[in-house]
Structure 1
Amino acid sequence: MTSTEDSGTDRQGLDYYPWWLDELADDATLEGAAMNGTARGAKAVRTIVVKARELYEFQDFSYAGAFGDKGFLEIYDASVQGEPLKVVVTVTRNAEGQAQDLAVLHRPRHSLLLFSRLMHEKFAGTPLAEYFLSDGS
């Protein structure tokens, strides 16, 4: 797959649903530039990804497809509260073909920091909040 048309996504990408979200290994991990530490376990990873997608005002994919033997890559533009984001998501599959390790890069830095604080707000009062910046940090 080399374009949004090939990946089945629409121009705005809000209808795009990543296959790997329903194919997470039980011990999947998620790391990101907007995160403190590594989230572990399919439930935590899925919960974080679903909430993160709710923050996006749009997703404009330039690529969503395979890379290498065990990889999947998403590259897209997005915005959160009007602030632009460039996003790269890498997914590495395990031997069973499940999504094992995910890494998410958001940039530029000011948008990444806003995104992290908004995620902290979404998870306030839960253990998942610790992965994101609070207003005081």
Structure 2
Amino acid sequence: MTSTERSDTDRQGLSYYPWWLDNLADDATLEGAAMNGTARGAEAVRTIVAKARELYEFQDFSYADVFGDNGFLEIYDSSIQGEPLKVVVTVTRNAAGQAQDLAVLHRPRNSLLLFSRLMHEKCAGTPLAAHFLSDDSKA
């Protein structure tokens, strides 16, 4: 689908749901520029992705499709608290076709840091919070 064929709802990403979120390998991993370390396990990955999607004010996709033999790529613009955000997500599938390894790049840096701090707040009280910057963290 080209950007000119998208409805306003699709353009905002409100109707988009990543297929891979419900098809994660049990030992899936998630790494990101906004994260410390690697999140491991389908439930941890699913929880982080769901909480991250809650922060996005919109998702304007320029690409969401297969690449290579076992990859999937998403590229979109967004914003968080009015701050612009560019996002690239790579998903590598295992032999069973499940999402195995995910990597997420957020930019620019100021928006990435805001995203990380907000994710720390959303994950507060859980082990997942350690993957993100707290308000008193130095970047």
Quickly name the TM-score band, shorter chain normalised. Answer: over 0.9
Distance (whole Å) between structure 2 residues aligned to residue 35 and residue 77 of structure 1: 19
Matched, 1:97 2:97: yes
Give structure 1 regions of 4+ aligned residues with deviation exceeding 6 angstroms.
none
Distance (whole Å) between structure 2 residues aligned to residue 128 and residue 3 of structure 1: 36
Distance (whole Å) between structure 2 residues aligned to residue 40 and residue 57 of structure 1: 27
Match of 2:110 in 1: 110
Structure 1, gaps ≥5 residues long: none
Post-superposition CA distance 1:77-117 (Å, at most 9, x none): 00000000000000000000000000000000000000000
The letter of the residue matching 1:67 is F
For the Cα contact (< 8 Å) 1:26–1:42, is it kept in 2? yes
Match of 2:69 in 1: 69
User: CA offset at residue 3 of structure 1?
Assistant: 3.8
Tell me the SS of whatever aligns to 2:72.
strand
Distance (whole Å) between structure 2 residues aligned to residue 131 and residue 3 of structure 1: 35
Match of 2:37 in 1: 37
Tell me the matched-pair count. Answer: 134
Match of 2:23 in 1: 23
For the Cα contact (< 8 Å) 1:75–1:87, is it kept in 2? yes
Distance (whole Å) between structure 2 residues aligned to residue 86 and residue 135 of structure 1: 22
Distance (whole Å) between structure 2 residues aligned to residue 93 and residue 71 of structure 1: 6
For the Cα contact (< 8 Å) 1:84–1:111, is it kept in 2? yes
Distance (whole Å) between structure 1 residues aligned to residue 11 and residue 38 of structure 2: 31
Tell me the SS of whatever aligns to 1:37.
coil
Distance (whole Å) between structure 1 residues aligned to residue 99 and residue 124 of structure 2: 27
Superposition TM-score, scaled by structure 2 size:
0.93
Distance (whole Å) between structure 1 residues aligned to residue 38 and residue 31 of structure 2: 5
Superposition TM-score, scaled by structure 1 size:
0.94
